[in-house]
Amino acid sequence: GIQVEQSPPDLILQEGANSTLRCNFSDSVNNLQWFHQNPWGQLINLFYIPSGTKQNGRLSATTVATERYSLLYISSSQTTDSGVYFCACGVTSGSRLTFGEGTQLTVNP
């Protein structure tokens, strides 16, 4: 099956800094999503981005499907951005997603 790798595994920032999270995937995908897991465990949708570029406030994402990677950019980070960020990919019919191991982001005041 598809392999999804995220980097870095851990990231510590000072408030106001910018960051880039990376997701590499081993096969062509028809679905790619970025999530932020809140402290209570819920996965919050950030982007649905199988290809192209999207922006939502301080967050933006780019997926280069031909080169099999996606990037999540966080600008002017805030302490509330802390948590785990997951990339998930789908390749087959149906809604099966394969998740990466996540990036644990800590933003210090």
Partner 1 sequence: KAGVTQTPRYLIKTRGQQVTLSCSPISGHRSVSWYQQTPGQGLQFLFEYFSETQRNKGNFPGRFSGRQFSNSRSEMNVSTLELGDSALYLCASSTEGLTEAFFGQGTRLTVV
Q: Is 56 in the site for partner 1 (CB under 8 A)?
A: no
Which range, of 15-23, 45-53, 55-63, 66-74, touches partner 1 by CB under 8 A? Answer: 45-53
Q: Is 40 in the site for partner 1 (CB under 8 A)?
A: yes
Query: How far apart are alpha carbons 33 and 79 in whole angstroms?
Result: 23
Q: Distance between alpha carbon 43 and the CA centroid of its chain, in Å? A: 11
Which range, of 41-49, 51-59, 66-74, 75-83, touches partner 1 by CB under 8 A? Answer: 41-49
Q: Is 103 in the site for partner 1 (CB under 8 A)?
A: no
Q: Measuring CA to CA, how many Å separate 59 from each of 31, 37, 44, 91?
A: 19, 15, 13, 25
